[in-house]
A and B are shown apart, each in its own frame.
Chain A
């Protein structure tokens, strides 16, 4: 009880220090006065009275000190004192403080930003109930519509609808097994009288929301009965889309919206924060039951098997019962898969039966959702983590060096203070406080850097993102860790030397303070500089490699011309057009857009080169049998208007281009690229030859009329793939298989318009959108970019990594140069006396400069020598990210070594020159 009262009284005293001090002062003076008065009464002289009173009292100062110690909380008070003192010291040397804070901020900030993003992307858990029980059937990246076997090792991860139903029925281990579209679609959605919007959508099974364990925010989620043929069409809207596209109007639940002109009822709204089954830059805005897919896709439906073709287009994700044996379930599912395949014509035909025993599924943990984005970006992100850690290391080395230099400079000061009676513990505590203060300030600045950098990185990596479910706010554990590292550096390199030097007897320390020529204490500093230089070589070499790789990627010859060309994506099917109405629409588009000023070519295509999408079919040459499962017979193909090749600047190298003579009634012709000709018709003239797709029955469908030069259609990194082009004017009517017929029909719908201008046109987008709206206001434009931008979109990740590694390289360069400069400056300052003596004894200025420079260069060269093998190793790790650059690229290494060597040498040269300009008399005088 008493203890509490005492503690309270001590705390209260903290706040009234000045008042209480005045009180004590007055009280003690009163005491002395009363004692003097009594002494005077006894007959002493004034002088003696005074002396006796003071003597009897004891030491006033000591008593006051003891009093104060008992009155307040001495620990807090001295801490506050130390903090104020520390801040004052930091303010007095702004250069040191600024350098240290900026270094810490950059190191901590860069690290935190990268680690936060890595954590947010790679470790993101779905916002659902109990994610640990979610498992995905399959673990690969196969997308988005596939027929037949999917990978060479038999891994199967994309499923057709009937196989999904079969697996669902035969797997009681799954509480719920749901299916979801592997790709995603953009639909034109209209509500009421407002214009149609382009929304991202995903087809999902009826039990999707219950498998994930997610309820609706408003209305209801999808249920199994919504996913039956003939059920009323409903959909679920995402919370973000509800807020941004439908103004958060609660009346939308239960109302009708038109998806690709088909009426749907909005059953409910998903909870805020729910983004679906995967981390992606444009999560779905609407979820539509699988049963509605035939309605919307029409001829291009993939739901039911058609003839021999059974399209795989679904990923499977399910919730297992607690305590399910996953390995056993995986084995059983693989067996079920094989049994099913054995009965499915599309897998058994053409020798496929031999491949069946290899087929299997892999059950992968589904708590993080479908890992497509993570698998694609994982490597690059992890490499960035490594690089940012190196930056932090260099930053800490810099701080350490700064602190060491400062500590040694203050050795004399420490000795004097100890001689004057300061307790060693208190001195060390003061230095510790300073280091901690520095770390705190640096950490706070680092937080700001981390925040800004995270946002910048996300914007660069996913420029098309809309409602991307990644928080760019720095995660606390990571920030805490980086901050801890810098704190430790500050404590170790700030306090340790102080402790060491406080061990020496003050007299000895003072005696040797400014005159020592030995440099024992500078060994850690030199080692740190060597470390910094070697790490910086690594970062710079990495930066050069990535920059060269990016330049190679972006400036390669894709085979197409892109100047003054724009690409527009739209969806006639979504606006309600039927195949019959398409020719009229296409003619209108081409005619109207051609009349716009400076337009020289308007082309239509289903897919544009490097637009990110394509279609492939198995090519069957005339008279050949159907391809077996191991035959590589695939070629991509595209449906284009007559002057398509002109619009992308691709020449014909043999035969002829499409012409107005190629009509519906004339021979169906195609144009093939050189790769196609080389692959399917080696050592022959392909002109006049015939081939078909779909089945051997149709292997004479198309006649090759011309060969055009290779260009990159889908993969910007690989070689040109076989490609053939079919004209819009010729729909092949010779198919009997209903799936082939509907596939042919859906190929008549184009998705893009390429517009070529003769010169740069300012408001191209506005003009084009207006013209299209005049033709048909229901035509939603999804996308309007210059062709160069479209190509650049292919390299977002590469550009991001190149920029970041360059940033890290520059940071490392700056930090290393500052490190060298700092150490050399300090060296010159300490040896000022020594240098002064040498020059007074006749040494030339140049030899002084040479002495300093030699020392600096020694450390730099050692650092470079150590850094090169590490750089080679890191280059080896980066190999998969490089394009057109070998991993042991000598130019990158040479460049890095040269740049770093020059910068560091210059950084060392400046203090060297300063040494040479020392006036010997002044140097000797300042002791």
Chain B
């Protein structure tokens, strides 16, 4: 089920969030942002705040759900977890992404 993504960057951030939640389980916004920073090896200089509109989009589509809880430092924070359809979506998105990457690779390969 393909979907028009107006902003590729938006789409990739959404997928990163989903993967993070799949790997790490329920996390709060700050935690997700730090994890993405770590995984990308600080190659992407993204403002941490941009995660929140992404989280909103994912919530609106029903792929993640948010719940208030307490953080490890005792601070009240909102935790997000994958929903069932969110998990299925990851497979879809990952497949799409790999196809796009493969096509791009063919284009960018030196022509013989």
B95 at the binding interface (Cβ < 8 Å)? no
A71 at the binding interface (Cβ < 8 Å)? yes
> Shortest beta-carbon distance, A31 to chain B, in Å?
5
In residues 796-850 of chain A, which contact B (Cβ within 8 Å)?
none
B25 at the binding interface (Cβ < 8 Å)? no
Q: Complex: how many Å from CA A71 to CA B62?
A: 14
In residues 39-66 of chain A, which contact B (Cβ within 8 Å)?
56-60, 62-63, 66
In residues 1-60 of chain A, which contact B (Cβ within 8 Å)?
2, 5-6, 9-10, 23-24, 26-28, 30-31, 33-35, 37-38, 56-60
B112 at the binding interface (Cβ < 8 Å)? no
A67 at the binding interface (Cβ < 8 Å)? yes
Which residue of the partner chain A has the closest CB to B89?
Answer: A2
B29 at the binding interface (Cβ < 8 Å)? yes
Residue from B30, B52, B61 within 8 A of A6 (CB atoms): B61
- Mark B32-57 against chain A: 1 for CB-CB distance below 8 A, else 0: 01100000000000011110110011
> Shortest beta-carbon distance, A130 to chain B, in Å?
55
B75 at the binding interface (Cβ < 8 Å)? yes
Most chain B Cβ neighbours within 10 Å, of A10, A24, A58: A58
Q: Complex: how many Å from CA A624 to CA B65?
A: 114
Residue from A26, A31, A60, A67 within 8 A of B53 (CB atoms): A67
**Given A2-B3, A2-B61, A10-B60, are A30 and B49 neighbors across the interface (CB < 8 Å)?**
no
> Shortest beta-carbon distance, B28 to chain A, in Å?
7
Residue from A34, A57, A59 within 8 A of B75 (CB atoms): A34
Taking a contact as CB atoms under 8 Å apart, the answer to whether A30 and B71 are in contact is: yes
Taking a contact as CB atoms under 8 Å apart, the answer to whether B52 and A28 are in contact is: yes
Q: Complex: how many Å from CA A26 to CA B70?
A: 13
Taking a contact as CB atoms under 8 Å apart, the answer to whether A30 and B28 are in contact is: yes
> Shortest beta-carbon distance, A5 to chain B, in Å?
6
Q: Could you say which residues of chain A place their CB within 8 Å of the CB of B56?
A: 67, 70-71
Taking a contact as CB atoms under 8 Å apart, the answer to whether B78 and A27 are in contact is: yes
In this complex, how many residues of chain A approach chain B with their Cβ under 8 Å: the count is: 28
Q: Complex: how many Å from CA A70 to CA B31?
A: 22
B16 at the binding interface (Cβ < 8 Å)? no
B76 at the binding interface (Cβ < 8 Å)? yes
> Shortest beta-carbon distance, A831 to chain B, in Å?
52
Q: Could you say which residues of chain B place their CB within 8 Å of the CB of A59?
A: 47, 49
Q: Could you say which residues of chain A place their CB within 8 Å of the CB of B31?
A: 34
Taking a contact as CB atoms under 8 Å apart, the answer to whether B49 and A58 are in contact is: yes
Q: Could you say which residues of chain B place their CB within 8 Å of the CB of A23?
A: 78
Taking a contact as CB atoms under 8 Å apart, the answer to whether A35 and B30 are in contact is: yes
Most chain B Cβ neighbours within 10 Å, of A9, A27, A58, A60: A27
Taking a contact as CB atoms under 8 Å apart, the answer to whether A9 and B60 are in contact is: yes
> Shortest beta-carbon distance, A814 to chain B, in Å?
56
Taking a contact as CB atoms under 8 Å apart, the answer to whether B29 and A27 are in contact is: yes
Which residue of the partner chain B has the closest CB to A8?
Answer: B60
**Given A34-B28, A58-B48, A67-B52, are A27 and B77 neighbors across the interface (CB < 8 Å)?**
yes
Taking a contact as CB atoms under 8 Å apart, the answer to whether A30 and B53 are in contact is: no
Q: Complex: how many Å from CA A59 to CA B75?
A: 22
Residue from A2, A60, A70 within 8 A of B49 (CB atoms): A60
B111 at the binding interface (Cβ < 8 Å)? no
B23 at the binding interface (Cβ < 8 Å)? no
Q: Could you say which residues of chain A place their CB within 8 Å of the CB of B73?
A: 33-34, 37
Taking a contact as CB atoms under 8 Å apart, the answer to whether B60 and A30 are in contact is: no
- Mark B57-68 against chain A: 1 for CB-CB distance below 8 A, else 0: 101111000000
Taking a contact as CB atoms under 8 Å apart, the answer to whether B52 and A30 are in contact is: no
Q: Complex: how many Å from CA A211 to CA B94?
A: 79
Most chain B Cβ neighbours within 10 Å, of A2, A30, A37: A30
Q: Complex: how many Å from CA A59 to CA B77?
A: 20
Residue from A2, A56, A67 within 8 A of B47 (CB atoms): A56
Q: Complex: how many Å from CA A23 to CA B66?
A: 11
Q: Complex: how many Å from CA A877 to CA B30?
A: 82
Q: Complex: how many Å from CA A57 to CA B49?
A: 5
**Given A27-B29, A27-B77, A30-B76, are A63 and B61 neighbors across the interface (CB < 8 Å)?**
no
Taking a contact as CB atoms under 8 Å apart, the answer to whether B30 and A31 are in contact is: yes
Taking a contact as CB atoms under 8 Å apart, the answer to whether A5 and B47 are in contact is: no
Q: Could you say which residues of chain B place their CB within 8 Å of the CB of A2?
A: 3, 61
In residues 723-745 of chain A, which contact B (Cβ within 8 Å)?
none
Most chain A Cβ neighbours within 10 Å, of B48, B73, B75: B48
Which residue of the partner chain A has the closest CB to B56?
Answer: A70
Q: Complex: how many Å from CA A62 to CA B48?
A: 12
In residues 60-113 of chain A, which contact B (Cβ within 8 Å)?
60, 62-63, 66-67, 70-71
- Mark B71-109 against chain A: 1 for CB-CB distance below 8 A, else 0: 101011110000000000000000000000000000000
Q: Could you say which residues of chain B place their CB within 8 Å of the CB of A58?
A: 47-50
In residues 1-45 of chain B, which contact A (Cβ within 8 Å)?
3, 28-31, 33-34
Taking a contact as CB atoms under 8 Å apart, the answer to whether A30 and B75 are in contact is: yes
Taking a contact as CB atoms under 8 Å apart, the answer to whether A6 and B60 are in contact is: yes
Taking a contact as CB atoms under 8 Å apart, the answer to whether B30 and A30 are in contact is: yes
- Mark A250-268 against chain B: 1 for CB-CB distance below 8 A, else 0: 0000000000000000000
Q: Could you say which residues of chain B place their CB within 8 Å of the CB of A56?
A: 47-48
Q: Could you say which residues of chain B place their CB within 8 Å of the CB of A24?
A: 52
Which residue of the partner chain B has the closest CB to A28?
Answer: B52
Q: Could you say which residues of chain B place their CB within 8 Å of the CB of A57?
A: 47-49
Which residue of the partner chain A has the closest CB to B3?
Answer: A2
> Shortest beta-carbon distance, B80 to chain A, in Å?
11
Q: Complex: how many Å from CA A62 to CA B56?
A: 15
Which residue of the partner chain B has the closest CB to A71?
Answer: B56
Taking a contact as CB atoms under 8 Å apart, the answer to whether A63 and B28 are in contact is: no
Q: Could you say which residues of chain A place their CB within 8 Å of the CB of B52?
A: 24, 27-28, 63, 67
Q: Complex: how many Å from CA A26 to CA B62?
A: 22
> Shortest beta-carbon distance, B69 to chain A, in Å?
11
Which residue of the partner chain B has the closest CB to A10?
Answer: B60
Q: Complex: how many Å from CA A754 to CA B50?
A: 97
Q: Could you say which residues of chain A place their CB within 8 Å of the CB of B30?
A: 30-31, 34-35
> Shortest beta-carbon distance, A61 to chain B, in Å?
10
> Shortest beta-carbon distance, A918 to chain B, in Å?
56
Taking a contact as CB atoms under 8 Å apart, the answer to whether A30 and B78 are in contact is: yes
Q: Could you say which residues of chain A place their CB within 8 Å of the CB of B29?
A: 27, 30-31
Q: Complex: how many Å from CA A6 to CA B58?
A: 10
Q: Complex: how many Å from CA A22 to CA B7?
A: 29
Q: Could you say which residues of chain B place their CB within 8 Å of the CB of A10?
A: 60
Which residue of the partner chain B has the closest CB to A2?
Answer: B61
7 A-B pairs with C-beta separation under 8 A: A27-B29, A34-B30, A34-B71, A35-B30, A37-B75, A56-B48, A63-B47
User: Which residues in B have some Cβ–Cβ distance to A below 8 Å?
Assistant: 3, 28-31, 33-34, 47-50, 52-53, 56-57, 59-62, 71, 73, 75-78
CB-based closest 4 A-B pairs: A58-B47, A63-B49, A58-B49, A34-B30
Given contacts A9-B60, A27-B77, 17 further A-B contacts (CB under 8 A): A2-B3, A5-B62, A10-B60, A27-B29, A27-B78, A30-B30, A31-B29, A31-B77, A35-B30, A38-B34, A56-B48, A57-B49, A59-B49, A62-B49, A63-B50, A67-B53, A70-B53
